[in-house]
Amino acid sequence: MDILERAGIIALGSRLQRLLDVLRNDGNIFYQQQKVNFETKWFPVIYTLSIVNFLSVTELAVEIGLSHPSAIALFKEIEKEGLITSVKDKADERKRNIMLSRKGREILSELKPYWEIIAATLTEITATPHSLFSAIEETELKLKEKGFADRLREKNVLISGQGRVEKITVKRAQTTDEIAIAKAIYKEVIGDNYDIITETGNDRIGTIFLLAGINGLPAGTLCMKQNRQALTIHSLAVLSHYRYRGVAKALIKSLYREKNSYTTITVVCEKDNALFFEHLGFKGKSIRGNDKISMRLDVLSQQSDSGE
């Protein structure tokens, strides 16, 4: 059992760190097997200095995305191996510029063929329908627009301002961001079967995504297909930390509280989940030779019962 996987997206940083450790450790083993005295964590520094002649300590730290103290520790480690050297800036003696040493320049020719092998292998690993590399680039762009700390502060103000009262809202996912959030919830909850669901595609005619939130935060989603006067529920997903708080019920009830062209809602569910739909007015029967139940809801009767 992987507890971090159960934690969901809140453990994103930890899981990225775990992935980084795996890539770094296996990369180091690869260098050792080739009898090259090099470590994967040195790559950003050596690669950057192979492109530019020199950078100040601060400039190089910013370029490779490390805090100043972390960068200083890394630079000292690489300098100890003789791959880089530092000299005082001619224009400002308070600054020190870092550049490749002769040994560092010599090792570049040895490293480049192995970097091509590593690049090809990483391309193969990340060549999935949801490319990790592309996702990282997109996430980095969002963080450049507004940092994680700023976003956290905004969410905290939003949630704190609403107190402990939980307000569940349901809306149809229409924008690109809303559809992306709905699909992300599906992937988080459903996992291996995610591709089966998204093959229906929100861009195809008749497919509808509903997005539920608690106090403004995404909590669950519902995927359906509309055909004439019938609406078929494809799948329902609620994030683990929002379950048993009325999200699923709110998603279903929102369907027949609206004035729509469809008159019936159907769903095929596991027998263990049949009671949930029965409480909402669905009636069904077992599918022969299967552990599933086909259930149907008369929308007009539900609207009439609720006085709508």
Please list the pLDDT of the chain residue by residue as tens digits (308 residues).
466 666 677 788 888 889 999 999 999 999 999 999 999 999 999 999 999 988 988 899 999 988 888 999 999 999 999 999 988 877 777 788 899 999 999 999 899 999 999 999 998 888 887 788 888 888 888 888 888 888 888 877 776 665 556 788 899 888 888 888 888 888 788 765 544 444 444 444 467 889 999 888 889 998 888 776 677 888 888 888 888 888 988 988 887 666 566 678 888 888 777 888 888 888 887 776 677 888 888 766 665 555 54
Give the pairing of strands 264-270 and 230-238: parallel
* Domain match, 156 and 61 both: no
Alpha-carbon span 21 to 18, nearest angstrom = 5
CA distance 102 to 88: 18
Separation between Cα atoms, residue 152 and residue 13, nearest integer Å: 14
**Statement to judge: residues 237 and 201 lie in one domain:** yes
Whether this prediction's pTM lies above 0.85 is answered by no
Q: How far apart are CA 146 and CA 140, in angstroms?
A: 10
* Overall size of the chain counted in residues: 308
Range of the domain at 183: 167-305
Distance (Å, rounded) from C-alpha 255 to C-alpha 265? 9
Residue 104, domain CATH: 1.10.10.10
Same domain? For 93 and 43 the reply is: yes
